[in-house]
Structure 1
Amino acid sequence: MPEGDSVYQLSKRLQFMSGRTVTATSLRVPRFATVDFTGLSCERVWPYGKHLFMQFGPQVLHTHLKMEGTWAIHKVGARWKKPGHTARVVLQLDGEIEIVGHSLGLVEVFPAREYDLRMGYLGPDMLAADFDHDEVVRRIEATPHLEIGRALLDQKNAAGIGNEYRAEICFIAGTHPAREVGEVDVDKHVRIARKLMWANRDSPVRVTTGIKRAGETSYVFGRNNKPCRRCTTLIEKSFLGGRGDLERVIWWCPRCQPAP
């Protein structure tokens, strides 16, 4: 599942849509199949955490990539690289441009006036220019008995942190992901998260080690049974973090991140 920096970069790629008029609309999800943006201009495109938004007149198109979603940009009439049956959103814009969202995990349309109400459950956007560090800390500390690995992944606490960043944040902080929030320095974890994500916001390759060479970009993520870059202990992974299910597989170093 893409992290917040991936959606941030996607939004930047799609900024050319702003000011262009929609010439054809096809939303291939039953609930919104009759929605038509044709004749409306795209007022803006923006990300919030892992969510992508496009506003057309008084309506907002809200999408989420989930596990397999992608967006492609073509000239109208050009052959798609992905099969047509995976397309969930097809928008044609003036200038003979076609935007196609494939295998999107979420597609919905709602009135722009409802944006704050609908998305208000999300925590501060980790990549916002006015990122609210203290609010993220407050939200995480409100659940002292929750595992820090689960709390970091909860989008109601902070919008944009995904599984890769979760693993790397915990390693850099020296924290086992199954440790309870009340046992760790939450402020430290949030500072690491913001620093890592901000540094990668424009990078085509996500790097948490400071080394961009292939195979050396992460400390623990995706490195099961490989030696820790700090102590050479073999990295472990599991769906279980010692105190319950941490929702998705996570990696850690048994020596640098002692289990609770």
Structure 2
Amino acid sequence: MPEGDTVWQAARRLHGALAGKTLTRSDLRVPKHATADLTGRTVLDVTARGKHLLTRIEGGLTLHSHLRMDGSWRVYTNDQRWTGGPGHQIRAILGTEDRTAVGYRLPVLELLRTADEARAVGHLGPDLLGPDWDPERALANVLADPDRPLGEALLDQRNLAGIGNVYKCELCFLLGVSPWLPAGALPADRAAKLPALAKRLLEVNRDRLVRATTGRRGQDLFVYGRAHRPCLRCGTPVRLADQGDGSRERPTYWCPACQPGPAPASGSPAARRIRPRTSN
């Protein structure tokens, strides 16, 4: 699931493959930019901004992409077979003399002037993995709507950029609070820890192939994906319910013992029913 760390890794791969090189192939397979030809231009850099990717190209152009749930960028050498999916899922091809970057299932792909990048990413809050990170501002953004559930506030990229559903669940667990706790009810000592803890979670995972928050081999996450399995701290079965983020419902995992506070009732429409698993 692409979150800030995954997008940061994608930017690093793309930058290493394309930056400083001249494009010998350019194919943007979206109607608005199908006739755009970037061949002959040099890729200047590729950078992540929250969950967004910005590929800056000579001539004042930026290719903006967003992975959302299923998108990906793959980099291949000239003799490699493309394995990211069937051809009809390819949305972008950027090739140089020795590398080809292929974008699969990209729900957002637009070519814009670099001077207009703010139109695509200007709404984002401080980037947890970016040079603009500002912990005080990020916390103030999260707490600005005191009645909003904390889990929703953490997913709102206008508050702080980079947290997705996995980190939302893990961060709430580490803070010891329910994702449905109103942001304004977050105890002051835990609120003070939130920005640094969120940043650390993404920083320690940006160089890892497998995302981990527990430090335990084979048990990488405390609650995410562990519905009905014992909590790694107290043994209470982890619960699962849907929580909105302002645009769609997200599966949300939490331990009712380690994370006391408001939460959907077991029989409520938001509660998820899945077959319990017996192993850890």
TM normalised by structure 2 equals 0.86
After superposition, give the CA deviation of every residue in 1:164-194 in whole Å (9 maximum; x if it has no partner): 0000000010100001011004332222211
Q: Which of 93, 96, 99 in structure 1 is aligned with 2:96? A: 93
Give the corresponding residue for 2:50. 49
Give the corresponding residue for 1:4. 4
CA distance in structure 2 between the partners assigned to 1:8 and 1:66 by the alignment = 14
The one-letter amino acid paired with 1:31 is K
Give the superposed CA RMSD. 1.8
Aligned ranges 1:1-260 → 2 under 5 Å: 1-16=1-16, 17-57=18-58, 58-76=60-78, 78-81=80-83, 82-95=85-98, 97-185=99-187, 186-211=191-216, 213-214=217-218, 216-240=219-243, 247-260=249-262
Cα displacement (A) at 1:78: 4.4
SS at match of 1:152: helix
CA distance in structure 2 between the partners assigned to 1:247 and 1:132 by the alignment = 28
The one-letter amino acid paired with 2:29 is R
The one-letter amino acid paired with 1:195 is R
CA distance in structure 2 between the partners assigned to 1:245 and 1:236 by the alignment = 22
The one-letter amino acid paired with 1:106 is V
Structure 1 residues 53 and 246: CA distance shift in structure 2, 3 A = closer
- Over the matched positions of the two proteins, sequence identity in percent amounts to 41
The 10-residue stretch of structure 1 (117-126 or 228-237) with the greater mean CA deviation from structure 2:
117-126
**How many residues were matched structurally?**
255
| 8 Å contact from structure 2 (residues 94, 102) kept in 1 | yes
CA distance in structure 2 between the partners assigned to 1:124 and 1:226 by the alignment = 35
Cα displacement (A) at 1:99: 1.1
CA distance in structure 2 between the partners assigned to 1:131 and 1:157 by the alignment = 11
CA distance in structure 1 between the partners assigned to 2:156 and 2:104 by the alignment = 25
CA distance in structure 1 between the partners assigned to 2:76 and 2:193 by the alignment = 43
| 8 Å contact from structure 2 (residues 52, 121) kept in 1 | no
CA distance in structure 2 between the partners assigned to 1:177 and 1:139 by the alignment = 17
CA distance in structure 1 between the partners assigned to 2:247 and 2:148 by the alignment = 11
| 8 Å contact from structure 1 (residues 149, 246) kept in 2 | no
The 10-residue stretch of structure 1 (189-198 or 248-257) with the greater mean CA deviation from structure 2:
189-198
SS at match of 2:220: coil
Structure 1 residues 65 and 256: CA distance shift in structure 2, 3 A = same
Structure 1 residues 240 and 53: CA distance shift in structure 2, 3 A = closer
The 10-residue stretch of structure 1 (160-169 or 116-125) with the greater mean CA deviation from structure 2:
116-125
Structure 1 residues 204 and 240: CA distance shift in structure 2, 3 A = closer
